[in-house]
Structure 1
Amino acid sequence: MDERQAAIKHKIRAMVTSSESDEISYRSEWLGYLPFPVFQWVEYQGESFSSDFPFDWTLEDLTSLERTGFLETLEAYENPEDHFDRDIRYRVHVGNV
């Protein structure tokens, strides 16, 4: 785990331990034309909090946290016609390193 992933893990852990739910959701979408980038965010109970993540975070950071056992995929959806349209629901295992 690198420094960026450690910072993301810390933010997720702080969010989840401050409330009763242990689930977060990753979402992404693209408006479909330039100059607009792909938008991605992480939500907790319907509210985005990933603006507190390091600027250059990616989905691969969450995948890495899943490999460590901190996150567990509960449900994943990718629009078959638009691979930028994704929704992944995770369970957070706060006790995991």
Structure 2
Amino acid sequence: MDEHQEAIKNKIRAAVETSDSDEITYRSEWLGYMPFPVFRWVEHQGKDFSGDFPADWTLEHLASLERAGFLEMLETYENPEDPFDRDIRYRVLIGRE
């Protein structure tokens, strides 16, 4: 696991451990024209907390955390007319006391 993945994992763990919900949602969208980039963020209980992630994080970092057994994909949605409009819901697999 690289530094970015470890930092993202720690931020996700901190958000989930202090709540009753063990789910997060990755969201992305694009306004459809330049110069605007694809916007992406991660929410927990409807609140974006990915502003604390490393600046150059990508969906691949979350996929890596899924492969490592930290995240479990629950549901995915991609707008058939806009592949940049996506939602992916994950369960965070941490032990609860």
Q: TM-score range by the shorter chain?
A: over 0.9
Length-normalised TM-score, structure 1: 0.96
Aligned residue pairs, count: 95
- Secondary structure at the counterpart of residue 28 of structure 2: strand
Structure 1 stretches of 4+ moved >6 Å: none
- Partner Cα distance (1:8, 1:78) in 2: 23
Unpaired runs of 5+ in structure 2? none
1:56-67 alignment runs, 5 A limit:
56-67=56-67
- Partner Cα distance (1:94, 1:72) in 2: 11
Deviation track 1:27-58 (CA, whole Å, cap 9, x = no partner) reads 00000000000000000000000000000000
Offset at residue 67 of structure 1 (A): 0.1
Deviation track 1:45-92 (CA, whole Å, cap 9, x = no partner) reads 000000000000000000000000100000000111111000000000
Unpaired runs of 5+ in structure 1? none
Residue matched to 2:68: 68
Matched, 1:41 2:41: yes
1:11-26 alignment runs, 5 A limit:
11-26=11-26
Length-normalised TM-score, structure 2: 0.96
- TM-align CA RMSD: 0.5
- Partner Cα distance (1:30, 1:65) in 2: 24
- Partner Cα distance (1:86, 1:34) in 2: 19
Offset at residue 3 of structure 1 (A): 0.4
